[in-house]
Structure 1
Amino acid sequence: MRIGLYPGTFDPITMGHIDIIRRAAILVDRLVIGVAINREKGPLFSLDERVGMIEAECVSLSEQTGIEIIVHPFENLLIDCASDVGAELIIRGLRAVSDFEYEFQMVGMNRSLDDSVETVFLMAEARHQAIASKLVKEIARLDGDVSKFVSAPVRRALIEKFDRANP
Protein backbone atom coordinates (compact mmCIF):
# COMPACT_ATOMS: atom_id res chain seq x y z
CA MET A 1 0.00 0.00 0.00
CA ARG A 2 1.44 3.34 -1.03
CA ILE A 3 0.78 6.03 1.58
CA GLY A 4 1.22 9.70 0.82
CA LEU A 5 1.39 12.62 3.24
CA TYR A 6 0.15 16.07 2.23
CA PRO A 7 1.19 18.43 5.05
CA GLY A 8 0.16 22.01 5.72
CA THR A 9 -1.37 24.40 8.18
CA PHE A 10 -4.66 24.60 6.24
CA ASP A 11 -5.78 27.81 7.96
CA PRO A 12 -8.25 27.50 6.28
CA ILE A 13 -8.37 24.80 3.64
CA THR A 14 -8.80 26.41 0.21
CA MET A 15 -9.84 25.30 -3.26
CA GLY A 16 -6.12 25.16 -4.07
CA HIS A 17 -5.59 22.63 -1.26
CA ILE A 18 -8.60 20.63 -2.44
CA ASP A 19 -7.21 20.59 -5.98
CA ILE A 20 -3.89 19.18 -4.73
CA ILE A 21 -5.67 16.60 -2.54
CA ARG A 22 -7.81 15.43 -5.49
CA ARG A 23 -4.77 15.11 -7.75
CA ALA A 24 -2.56 13.53 -5.06
CA ALA A 25 -5.19 10.85 -4.46
CA ILE A 26 -4.44 9.26 -7.84
CA LEU A 27 -0.81 8.73 -6.79
CA VAL A 28 -1.43 6.77 -3.60
CA ASP A 29 -3.63 4.14 -1.97
CA ARG A 30 -4.07 6.17 1.21
CA LEU A 31 -3.62 9.90 1.59
CA VAL A 32 -2.88 11.43 4.97
CA ILE A 33 -3.54 15.13 5.36
CA GLY A 34 -1.00 16.26 7.94
CA VAL A 35 -2.31 19.30 9.81
CA ALA A 36 0.63 21.17 11.28
CA ILE A 37 0.24 22.47 14.81
CA ASN A 38 2.27 25.58 14.10
CA ARG A 39 1.89 27.86 17.10
CA GLU A 40 4.32 30.41 15.63
CA LYS A 41 2.00 31.11 12.68
CA GLY A 42 -0.82 32.02 15.09
CA PRO A 43 -3.60 30.32 13.12
CA LEU A 44 -7.03 31.93 12.93
CA PHE A 45 -8.75 28.58 13.37
CA SER A 46 -8.02 26.20 16.22
CA LEU A 47 -6.56 22.80 15.45
CA ASP A 48 -9.95 21.16 16.04
CA GLU A 49 -11.65 23.63 13.69
CA ARG A 50 -9.06 23.05 10.95
CA VAL A 51 -9.23 19.27 11.33
CA GLY A 52 -13.04 19.41 11.22
CA MET A 53 -13.07 21.53 8.05
CA ILE A 54 -10.58 19.25 6.32
CA GLU A 55 -12.46 16.10 7.33
CA ALA A 56 -15.71 17.58 6.01
CA GLU A 57 -14.09 18.53 2.70
CA CYS A 58 -12.42 15.15 2.31
CA VAL A 59 -15.55 13.01 2.68
CA SER A 60 -16.69 13.69 -0.87
CA LEU A 61 -13.12 13.63 -2.22
CA SER A 62 -12.62 10.17 -0.75
CA GLU A 63 -15.89 9.00 -2.29
CA GLN A 64 -15.01 10.51 -5.68
CA THR A 65 -11.50 9.06 -5.81
CA GLY A 66 -12.09 5.78 -3.96
CA ILE A 67 -9.01 6.55 -1.85
CA GLU A 68 -8.91 6.54 1.92
CA ILE A 69 -8.16 10.08 3.09
CA ILE A 70 -7.40 10.60 6.75
CA VAL A 71 -6.53 13.73 8.72
CA HIS A 72 -3.57 13.59 11.11
CA PRO A 73 -2.49 16.55 13.27
CA PHE A 74 1.26 16.72 13.92
CA GLU A 75 3.73 18.89 15.80
CA ASN A 76 6.97 17.03 15.15
CA LEU A 77 9.34 17.12 12.20
CA LEU A 78 7.63 16.48 8.88
CA ILE A 79 9.92 13.53 8.18
CA ASP A 80 9.00 12.04 11.58
CA CYS A 81 5.32 12.54 10.83
CA ALA A 82 5.84 10.68 7.54
CA SER A 83 7.36 7.81 9.50
CA ASP A 84 4.53 7.91 12.08
CA VAL A 85 1.87 7.44 9.39
CA GLY A 86 3.90 5.05 7.22
CA ALA A 87 4.19 7.49 4.31
CA GLU A 88 6.82 6.91 1.67
CA LEU A 89 5.76 9.97 -0.27
CA ILE A 90 5.41 13.60 0.80
CA ILE A 91 3.20 15.65 -1.49
CA ARG A 92 3.73 19.38 -1.74
CA GLY A 93 1.76 21.89 -3.76
CA LEU A 94 3.56 24.66 -5.61
CA ARG A 95 2.05 27.94 -6.73
CA ALA A 96 5.10 29.95 -7.77
CA VAL A 97 8.88 29.82 -8.15
CA SER A 98 9.26 31.27 -4.66
CA ASP A 99 7.45 28.20 -3.27
CA PHE A 100 9.93 25.96 -5.07
CA GLU A 101 12.98 27.67 -3.56
CA TYR A 102 11.73 27.01 -0.02
CA GLU A 103 10.53 23.49 -0.83
CA PHE A 104 13.83 22.63 -2.52
CA GLN A 105 15.67 23.33 0.74
CA MET A 106 13.14 21.30 2.71
CA VAL A 107 13.54 18.29 0.41
CA GLY A 108 17.31 18.39 0.89
CA MET A 109 16.97 18.44 4.66
CA ASN A 110 14.31 15.73 4.69
CA ARG A 111 16.43 13.51 2.41
CA SER A 112 19.36 13.99 4.79
CA LEU A 113 17.16 12.84 7.67
CA ASP A 114 15.52 9.93 5.83
CA ASP A 115 16.31 9.17 2.21
CA SER A 116 13.59 6.52 1.96
CA VAL A 117 10.88 9.18 1.76
CA GLU A 118 10.39 10.86 -1.61
CA THR A 119 8.84 14.28 -2.17
CA VAL A 120 6.55 14.93 -5.11
CA PHE A 121 5.60 18.45 -6.19
CA LEU A 122 2.26 19.16 -7.80
CA MET A 123 1.77 22.50 -9.48
CA ALA A 124 -1.46 24.19 -8.57
CA GLU A 125 -3.96 24.47 -11.39
CA ALA A 126 -3.67 27.89 -13.04
CA ARG A 127 -7.00 29.06 -11.61
CA HIS A 128 -5.79 28.24 -8.08
CA GLN A 129 -2.24 29.60 -8.24
CA ALA A 130 -3.07 32.92 -6.58
CA ILE A 131 -4.95 31.35 -3.69
CA ALA A 132 -3.18 31.55 -0.36
CA SER A 133 -4.84 31.01 3.01
CA LYS A 134 -3.26 34.20 4.29
CA LEU A 135 -4.85 36.25 1.49
CA VAL A 136 -8.20 34.48 1.87
CA LYS A 137 -8.27 35.41 5.56
CA GLU A 138 -7.43 39.04 4.76
CA ILE A 139 -10.18 39.27 2.14
CA ALA A 140 -12.70 37.72 4.55
CA ARG A 141 -11.59 40.01 7.40
CA LEU A 142 -12.30 43.01 5.19
CA ASP A 143 -15.73 41.66 4.20
CA GLY A 144 -14.66 40.63 0.71
CA ASP A 145 -16.15 37.70 -1.20
CA VAL A 146 -14.04 34.56 -0.80
CA SER A 147 -16.51 32.19 -2.48
CA LYS A 148 -14.12 31.63 -5.43
CA PHE A 149 -11.37 30.51 -3.08
CA VAL A 150 -13.02 28.29 -0.46
CA SER A 151 -16.02 26.00 -0.18
CA ALA A 152 -19.33 27.32 1.18
CA PRO A 153 -18.84 25.75 4.65
CA VAL A 154 -15.35 27.24 4.97
CA ARG A 155 -16.67 30.62 3.79
CA ARG A 156 -19.34 30.49 6.52
CA ALA A 157 -16.70 29.58 9.10
CA LEU A 158 -14.61 32.59 8.04
CA ILE A 159 -17.59 34.92 8.23
CA GLU A 160 -18.51 33.60 11.66
CA LYS A 161 -14.93 33.88 12.89
CA PHE A 162 -14.63 37.50 11.81
CA ASP A 163 -18.13 38.43 13.00
CA ARG A 164 -17.17 37.10 16.43
CA ALA A 165 -13.85 38.93 16.30
CA ASN A 166 -15.53 42.21 15.30
CA PRO A 167 -18.91 42.47 17.07
Structure 2
Amino acid sequence: MKAIYPGSFDPITNGHIDIINRASNFFDELIIGVMMNSKKKYMFSIEERKKLIEQQFANNAKIKVVTFQGLLVDYMKKHHIKVIIKGLRTVTDYAYEAQMALTNKNLYKDAETFFIHSTEKYSLISSSIVKEIYSYGGELTDYVPKHVVDALKEKLS
Protein backbone atom coordinates (compact mmCIF):
# COMPACT_ATOMS: atom_id res chain seq x y z
CA MET A 1 0.00 0.00 0.00
CA LYS A 2 1.17 3.53 -0.69
CA ALA A 3 0.60 6.77 1.16
CA ILE A 4 1.31 10.43 0.57
CA TYR A 5 2.84 12.96 2.96
CA PRO A 6 2.02 16.39 1.51
CA GLY A 7 3.56 19.68 2.52
CA SER A 8 5.44 22.77 1.53
CA PHE A 9 8.76 21.67 3.08
CA ASP A 10 10.30 25.15 2.81
CA PRO A 11 12.74 23.77 3.92
CA ILE A 12 12.45 20.20 5.12
CA THR A 13 13.17 19.94 8.86
CA ASN A 14 14.25 17.18 11.22
CA GLY A 15 10.63 17.04 12.34
CA HIS A 16 9.49 16.26 8.79
CA ILE A 17 12.27 13.70 8.44
CA ASP A 18 11.21 11.99 11.66
CA ILE A 19 7.58 11.71 10.46
CA ILE A 20 8.72 10.41 7.05
CA ASN A 21 11.02 7.79 8.56
CA ARG A 22 8.36 6.59 10.98
CA ALA A 23 5.59 6.51 8.35
CA SER A 24 7.77 4.65 5.84
CA ASN A 25 7.84 1.68 8.23
CA PHE A 26 4.14 1.06 7.57
CA PHE A 27 3.83 1.51 3.80
CA ASP A 28 5.35 -0.11 0.72
CA GLU A 29 5.73 3.31 -0.87
CA LEU A 30 5.65 6.75 0.74
CA ILE A 31 5.25 9.64 -1.64
CA ILE A 32 6.44 13.02 -0.42
CA GLY A 33 4.21 15.54 -2.18
CA VAL A 34 5.91 18.92 -2.40
CA MET A 35 3.10 21.34 -2.96
CA MET A 36 2.53 24.97 -3.85
CA ASN A 37 0.20 27.00 -1.67
CA SER A 38 -0.83 30.22 -3.40
CA LYS A 39 -1.12 31.92 0.02
CA LYS A 40 2.51 31.24 0.98
CA LYS A 41 5.69 33.01 -0.02
CA TYR A 42 8.56 30.54 -0.44
CA MET A 43 12.28 30.87 0.15
CA PHE A 44 13.10 27.84 -2.01
CA SER A 45 11.56 27.02 -5.38
CA ILE A 46 9.47 23.88 -5.63
CA GLU A 47 12.32 22.13 -7.48
CA GLU A 48 14.87 23.19 -4.84
CA ARG A 49 12.60 21.83 -2.09
CA LYS A 50 12.20 18.58 -3.99
CA LYS A 51 15.95 18.25 -4.42
CA LEU A 52 16.63 18.82 -0.71
CA ILE A 53 14.19 16.04 0.18
CA GLU A 54 15.62 13.69 -2.45
CA GLN A 55 19.12 14.27 -1.04
CA GLN A 56 17.91 13.31 2.42
CA PHE A 57 16.23 10.07 1.30
CA ALA A 58 18.50 9.02 -1.56
CA ASN A 59 19.13 5.63 0.09
CA ASN A 60 15.50 4.81 0.85
CA ALA A 61 13.87 3.10 -2.13
CA LYS A 62 10.43 3.27 -0.46
CA ILE A 63 10.36 7.07 -0.64
CA LYS A 64 9.47 8.93 -3.82
CA VAL A 65 9.40 12.73 -4.05
CA VAL A 66 6.98 14.47 -6.41
CA THR A 67 5.79 18.01 -7.02
CA PHE A 68 2.32 19.06 -8.01
CA GLN A 69 -0.17 21.88 -7.90
CA GLY A 70 -3.88 21.72 -7.31
CA LEU A 71 -5.94 19.63 -4.96
CA LEU A 72 -4.25 16.84 -3.08
CA VAL A 73 -7.26 14.56 -3.61
CA ASP A 74 -7.06 15.00 -7.39
CA TYR A 75 -3.44 13.81 -7.29
CA MET A 76 -4.45 10.93 -5.04
CA LYS A 77 -7.26 9.79 -7.33
CA LYS A 78 -5.02 9.94 -10.39
CA HIS A 79 -2.31 7.85 -8.71
CA HIS A 80 -4.56 5.48 -6.75
CA ILE A 81 -3.48 6.66 -3.31
CA LYS A 82 -5.88 6.36 -0.40
CA VAL A 83 -3.79 7.33 2.65
CA ILE A 84 -2.64 10.81 3.67
CA ILE A 85 0.04 11.13 6.34
CA LYS A 86 -0.02 14.22 8.52
CA GLY A 87 2.34 15.13 11.34
CA LEU A 88 0.96 16.78 14.45
CA ARG A 89 2.96 18.96 16.82
CA THR A 90 0.29 20.74 18.83
CA VAL A 91 -3.44 20.93 19.52
CA THR A 92 -3.54 23.83 17.06
CA ASP A 93 -2.14 21.55 14.35
CA TYR A 94 -4.81 18.97 15.16
CA ALA A 95 -7.68 21.46 14.84
CA TYR A 96 -6.52 22.52 11.37
CA GLU A 97 -5.56 19.05 10.16
CA ALA A 98 -8.81 17.47 11.38
CA GLN A 99 -10.74 20.01 9.31
CA MET A 100 -8.55 19.24 6.28
CA ALA A 101 -9.02 15.48 6.79
CA LEU A 102 -12.80 15.89 6.79
CA THR A 103 -12.65 18.09 3.69
CA ASN A 104 -10.42 15.60 1.85
CA LYS A 105 -12.76 12.74 2.85
CA ASN A 106 -15.71 14.74 1.54
CA LEU A 107 -13.93 15.33 -1.79
CA TYR A 108 -12.59 11.75 -2.09
CA LYS A 109 -14.54 9.13 -0.17
CA ASP A 110 -11.64 6.64 -0.23
CA ALA A 111 -9.19 9.07 1.40
CA GLU A 112 -8.11 8.32 4.96
CA THR A 113 -5.83 10.57 6.97
CA PHE A 114 -3.33 8.99 9.38
CA PHE A 115 -1.99 11.35 12.03
CA ILE A 116 1.48 10.81 13.48
CA HIS A 117 2.34 12.83 16.54
CA SER A 118 5.76 14.43 16.45
CA THR A 119 8.52 13.16 18.68
CA GLU A 120 8.88 15.47 21.68
CA LYS A 121 12.28 16.82 20.64
CA TYR A 122 10.83 17.92 17.27
CA SER A 123 7.52 19.28 18.52
CA LEU A 124 8.63 22.92 18.33
CA ILE A 125 10.27 22.78 14.91
CA SER A 126 8.68 24.36 11.87
CA SER A 127 10.08 25.58 8.57
CA SER A 128 9.10 29.14 9.50
CA ILE A 129 11.01 28.95 12.78
CA VAL A 130 14.05 27.49 10.98
CA LYS A 131 14.12 30.40 8.54
CA GLU A 132 13.72 32.96 11.32
CA ILE A 133 16.48 31.41 13.45
CA TYR A 134 18.78 31.32 10.45
CA SER A 135 18.03 34.94 9.48
CA TYR A 136 19.35 36.01 12.90
CA GLY A 137 22.44 33.83 12.70
CA GLY A 138 21.18 31.15 15.07
CA GLU A 139 22.45 27.57 15.18
CA LEU A 140 20.33 25.09 13.20
CA THR A 141 22.08 21.78 13.90
CA ASP A 142 19.14 20.43 15.93
CA TYR A 143 16.54 21.60 13.43
CA VAL A 144 17.64 20.62 9.92
CA PRO A 145 20.23 18.36 8.25
CA LYS A 146 23.60 19.81 7.18
CA HIS A 147 22.72 19.91 3.47
CA VAL A 148 19.72 22.13 4.30
CA VAL A 149 21.91 24.47 6.38
CA ASP A 150 24.26 24.68 3.38
CA ALA A 151 21.31 25.47 1.07
CA LEU A 152 20.13 28.19 3.44
CA LYS A 153 23.63 29.71 3.53
CA GLU A 154 23.78 29.71 -0.25
CA LYS A 155 20.27 31.17 -0.57
CA LEU A 156 20.82 33.97 1.92
CA SER A 157 24.41 34.91 1.10
* 2:123 maps to which of 115, 118, 129: 129
3-state SS in 1 of match to 2:58: helix
Q: Deviations over 1:120-153 (max 9, x none)?
A: 0000000000000000000111111111100000
Question: Partner amino acid for 1:38?
Answer: N
Question: Partner amino acid for 2:27?
Answer: V
Contact 1:95 1:129 in 2 (8 A): yes
Runs of 4+ residues over 4 Å off in structure 1: none
Match of 1:68 in 2: 62
Q: TM-score, normalised by structure 1?
A: 0.91
Match of 1:50 in 2: 49
Higher helix proportion (structure 1 or 2): 1
2:22 aligned with 1:23:
yes
Cα distance, 1:37 vs. partner? Answer: 1.6
- The whole-number CA distance in structure 2 between the counterparts of 1:85 and 1:5 is 10
Question: Partner amino acid for 2:4?
Answer: L
Contact 1:3 1:32 in 2 (8 A): yes
In structure 1, list runs of 5 or more residues that go unmatched. Answer: none
2:138 aligned with 1:144:
yes
2:97 aligned with 1:103:
yes
Question: Partner amino acid for 2:12?
Answer: I
Task: Give aligned-pair identity as a percent.
Answer: 41
3-state SS in 1 of match to 2:42: coil
Q: TM-score, normalised by structure 2?
A: 0.96
2:111 aligned with 1:117:
yes
- The whole-number CA distance in structure 2 between the counterparts of 1:22 and 1:85 is 22
3-state SS in 2 of match to 1:41: coil
Question: Partner amino acid for 1:134?
Answer: S
In structure 2, list runs of 5 or more residues that go unmatched. Answer: none
Q: CA RMSD in A?
A: 1.0
- The whole-number CA distance in structure 1 between the counterparts of 2:57 and 2:39 is 26
Cα distance, 1:58 vs. partner? Answer: 1.1
Q: How many residues align?
A: 157
3-state SS in 1 of match to 2:39: helix
